[in-house]
Amino acid sequence: MIHPTAIIDPSAQLHADVQVGAYSIIGARSEIGSGTRIRPHAVIGSDTRIGSDCEIFQFASVGEDPQDLSYRGEQTRLEMGDRCVIREGVTMSRGTEKGGGVTRIGSDGLFMAQVHVAHDCQVGNGVIFSNAASLAGHCEIGDHATLGGFSLIHQFSLIGRRAFTSMGAALNRDLPPFCLASGNYARAIGINKVGLRRAGISAEAIQALQHAFRVMVRQRQGSAGAAQLAPLMAQHPEVEEFVAFIQASKRGVLRSGRQVTGIE
Catalytic center residues: 119-120, 137
Q: Which DSSP category does 219 fall into?
A: S
Burial track 196-231 (b if 16+ CB lie within 10 A, e otherwise): beeeebeeebbebbeebbebbbeeeeeeebbebbee
For residue 246, how many C-alpha atoms fall within 13 Å in the half-sphere facing its CB? Answer: 29
Quick one: which of 240, 140, 252, 254 has its CA closest to 190?
254
Quick one: which of 52, 36, 47, 43 has its CA closest to 22?
43
Beta pairing partners, 236: none
